[in-house]
Structure 1
Amino acid sequence: MRMMMKARMDTQMSNQVTKDGAMPKSLKSAIEQLNPEAAYFTPEGGRTMFLVFDMEDSSQLPSIADPFFQEMGAEVTFEPVMNLDDLQRGLAALQ
Structure 2
Amino acid sequence: MKMLLRTYIDAHDGSEALKSGALQKAIKGFIETFKPEATYFTVENGTRSGLYVFDMKDSSQMPAIGEPFFALGCRVTLIPCMAPEDLSVGLAAAEL
Tell me the residue number matched to 1:29: 29
Could you say which residue in structure 2 is the equivalent of 1:65? 66
Query: Hey, which bits of structure 1, 4+ residues long, moved more than 3 A?
Result: none
TM, length-normalised to structure 1: 0.90
CA distance in 1, matches of 2:77, 2:11: 17
Determine the structure 1 residue equivalent to 2:93: 93
Instruction: State the TM-score, normalizing by the size of structure 2.
Output: 0.89
Summarize deviations over 1:15-51 as a string: whole Å, max 9, x none: 0111123333221111111111111111113110111
Alpha-carbon distance between aligned partners in 1 of 2:87 and 2:36, rounded to the nearest angstrom:
19
SS in 2 for 1:68: helix
CA distance in 1, matches of 2:31, 2:78: 16
Higher share of residues assigned strand: 2
Where in structure 2 are there 5+ consecutive unaligned residues?
none
3-state DSSP of counterpart to 1:19: helix
Q: Which amino acid aligns with 1:69?
A: F
Identity of aligned residues (%): 46
- Cα RMSD between the aligned structures? 1.2
Stretches of structure 1 lacking an aligned partner (at least 5 in a row): none
Task: Note the C-alpha offset of 1:3.
Answer: 0.6
Give the Cα–Cα distance (whole angstroms) in 1 for the partners of residues 65 and 42 of structure 2: 20
SS of alignment partner, residue 36 of structure 2:
coil
